[in-house]
Amino acid sequence: MLLENKQVAIIGGGPGGLTLAKVLQLKGVNVKVYERDLTKDVRVQGATLDLHYDSGLKAIENAGLSEAFKKAYRPGAEKGRVVDQYGNIVYDEHINASDKSFDNELFRPEIDRGDLRDILLESLKPDTVVWNCHLVTLSQIGNRWKLEFKNGSMAVADIVIGADGANSKVRSVITSVKPFYADITIFQGNVEDAQIKAPTIHTLLKGGKIYVHSGGKYLHVSAKGDGSIDFYVSIPMHENWVKNSGIDFTDRSQLIAWYQKEFAGWGSIWFELFKNVSLPLLIRPQYCVPLDQTWEAHSTITLLGDAAHIMPPSGEGVNLAMLDALELSECLTSGDFKNVQVAIAAYEKQMQVRGLAEAQASLEMVQWMHGEGAMEKMIQLFSEMPS
């Protein structure tokens, strides 16, 4: 096996990095995951995720974690409601009976990101993940890589995989091609104890999702298993608008003043979100890889997930990352390639084709989701989906 007696370092402990660690360990590979978080419980792990039959769920199955996933996912949480800016329901998936199950290619079961991470973490060998390791520099020493972390520690590895997201440090070693701003910025927040703090929206959610399109804005709200709700609003704006606005989004009074101006003409229901959101609000300008990006495969280093093909949200991000992890592990352990560089090249070829096609689709989605007729387009998409 190409990785026999090799030490593999995965930078980043998100779903993609942890999936890769798991499937490599099943093949007997020595692997460490270096994660910048201080501990596994240091922060809330984002919103909900829906896994797809031929990508995320395929990786879960190959990792031997299907039963654990079935115990943790939230039945019905994938159902959504298209709602107008006043809070009126205009399309409701909850009224449609569904007989989809895990053997149905159209089934997209929903799970909280934190629960998925826990499943993956608990499946790994003890001490696989090294916490508080924020990568600062990596450099080659002979045939190996030296990793230096912000906490002053160091590590050495034979193979490095960058699963470190949109601001990947590993990516800069592999390519100078930089993502470009996708013309939208996302404002993301979480409301704890939603049944008490945001009761109207909690009821409207019905344990699932809400989609609102109005005036060029897109609001997405999702229920979580811990009783909180996650939301984000996507708004077309200049890349540096937030920095140049002079608004302190960590100050609730300034946040509410911005909301009242930005959402003038919307119904009062949405005020529950901004009045009760836990601060600071996350502000995330959205970037996308150039659709013609390419690089020559390296012999001992590669990328997966957002580090390789960052794009605006399309519902595919975590699924692409987990499929990347599965296919990379197969290339590195199959015995079909004469050396690691050839194996990496084979993986990157299919990863790039898949990732760039989805990046194109995500940019097209950005256009229609913020354009005229977006709500009608969303309803049409839901209506065309088999129940």
CATH number of the domain to which 302 belongs:
3.50.50.60
How confident is the prediction along the chain (387 residues), in pLDDT tens digits per residue?
A: 899 999 999 999 999 999 999 999 999 999 999 999 998 877 666 678 999 999 999 999 999 999 999 999 999 899 999 999 999 999 999 987 666 778 888 889 999 999 999 999 999 999 999 999 999 999 999 999 999 999 999 999 999 999 999 999 999 999 999 999 999 999 999 999 999 999 999 999 999 999 999 999 999 999 999 999 999 999 999 999 999 999 999 999 999 999 999 999 999 999 999 999 999 999 999 999 999 999 999 999 999 999 999 999 988 899 999 999 999 999 999 989 999 999 999 999 999 999 999 999 999 999 999 999 999 999 999 888 766
Last residue of a domain, one of 271, 288, 305: 288
Output the known binding site. 43, 50, 113, 306
d(CA 122, CA 252): 38
pLDDT recorded at residue 383: 85
How far is the C-alpha of 350 from the C-alpha of 326, rounded, in Å? 12
Pair (213, 353) in one structural domain: no
Tell me, yes or no, whether 60 lies in a domain.
no
Q: Which of 288, 316, 343 is the last residue of a domain?
A: 288
Q: Does 79 reside within a domain?
A: no
- Examine the domain organization and report whether 40 and 127 are in the same domain: yes
Which segments are annotated as binding site for FAD? 50, 113, 306
Would 67 be classed as within a structural domain?
no
C-alpha 191: how far from chain center: 20
Residue 149 lies in a domain: yes
Question: What span, in angstroms and rounded, lies between the C-alpha atoms of 39 and 58?
Answer: 28
Cβ burial, residue 102 (10 Å; 0-12/13-18/19+): middle
Does residue 35 sit in the same domain as residue 169? yes
Give domain status of residue 330, yes or no: yes
- Tell me: do 255 and 147 sit in the same domain: no
The answer on 174 and 195 residing in a single domain is no
| Any domain includes 61 | no
Domain with 268 in it: 186-288
Q: Is residue 71 part of a domain?
A: no
Which of 263, 288, 313 finishes a domain? 288
> Do both 194 and 276 map to the same domain?
yes
170 & 284 share domain: no
Tell me, yes or no, whether 38 lies in a domain. Answer: yes
Cα separation, 384 vs 204, whole angstroms: 23
The predicted pLDDT at position 99 comes to 62
User: Do residue 248 and residue 283 come from a single domain?
Assistant: yes
Q: How many domains does the chain have?
A: 2
258: its two tokens = 């911005």
Q: Nearest to residue 223, comparing CAs of 239, 247, 249, 201?
A: 201
> Within this chain, do residues 307 and 272 fall inside the same structural domain, yes or no?
no
Task: Please enumerate, by residue number, every residue annotated as part of a binding site for NADPH.
Answer: 43
Does 283 share its domain with 296?
Answer: no
Q: Specify whether 143 is located in the same domain as 246.
A: no
Question: Do residue 210 and residue 172 come from a single domain?
Answer: no
Question: What pTM did the predictor assign?
Answer: 0.95
